[in-house]
C-alpha cells in the first residue's frame, strides 16, 4: 500500500523507491511494478490516427489527452534511476501506463493516487 496520497509523479517516485527498498528490490536496477486502486486525478494520452500532413516524429501532435478524477484503475510502470530519456522521460525515474476499468488505457502524463492504492513488485 502506498501509505500516503501520492500528490504528483515525483512524489510517487519517492514512495516507490521507499517501498521497493523495504521489499528487497534493488533500486539501482530497473524494475517493473503495478499499482491498483483509486486514482484521484490523472491526465493521460493516447495516440490518435496520424494526419497525412504531419511528421511521424510529432508524437504529441498526434495524441489525444484524457483527464479523469476519482476512478479505480491499474497502473503498469517501470522504475529506473539510470534510464532518463531512454525508457523514462528526462528527469523522471518512472514510465507509467494506466488501464481504466472501462478498458481504456494510455500513457500517464500527470497523476495523483489515493493512499490505499496497492503496489506490487515482481517476485
Question: What does the pLDDT look like over 2-15, one tens digit per residue?
Answer: 888 899 888 999 99
Supply 60's cell numbers. Answer: 504529441
**What pLDDT, on the 0 to 100 scale, is given for residue 58?**
53
Is 39 in contact with 70 (CB distance < 8 Å)?
A: yes
Question: How many domains is the chain built from?
Answer: 1
Predicted TM-score of the model (pTM): 0.84
CATH of the domain at 110: 3.30.1330.80
**What pLDDT, on the 0 to 100 scale, is given for residue 50?**
59
Q: Which residues of the chain have pLDDT under 50?
A: none
d(CA 99, CA 31): 19
Answer yes or no: is 4 within a domain. Answer: no
Is 20 in contact with 121 (CB distance < 8 Å)?
A: yes
Answer yes or no: is 72 within a domain. Answer: yes
Amino acid at each position: 500500500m502506498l501509505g500516503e496520497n501520492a500528490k504528483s509523479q515525483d512524489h510517487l517516485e519517492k514512495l516507490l523507491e521507499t517501498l521497493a527498498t523495504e521489499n528487497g528490490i534493488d533500486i539501482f536496477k530497473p524494475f517493473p511494478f503495478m499499482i491498483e486502486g483509486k486514482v484521484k486525478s490523472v491526465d493521460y494520452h493516447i495516440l490518435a490516427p496520424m494526419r497525412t500532413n504531419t511528421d511521424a516524429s510529432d508524437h504529441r501532435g498526434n495524441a489525444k489527452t484524457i483527464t479523469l478524477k476519482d476512478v479505480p484503475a491499474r497502473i503498469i510502470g517501470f522504475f529506473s534511476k539510470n534510464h532518463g530519456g531512454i525508457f523514462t522521460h528526462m528527469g523522471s525515474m518512472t514510465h507509467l501506463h494506466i488501464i481504466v476499468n472501462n478498458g481504456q488505457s494510455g500513457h500517464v502524463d500527470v497523476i495523483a493516487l489515493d493512499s490505499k492504492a496497492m503496489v506490487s513488485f515482481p517476485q
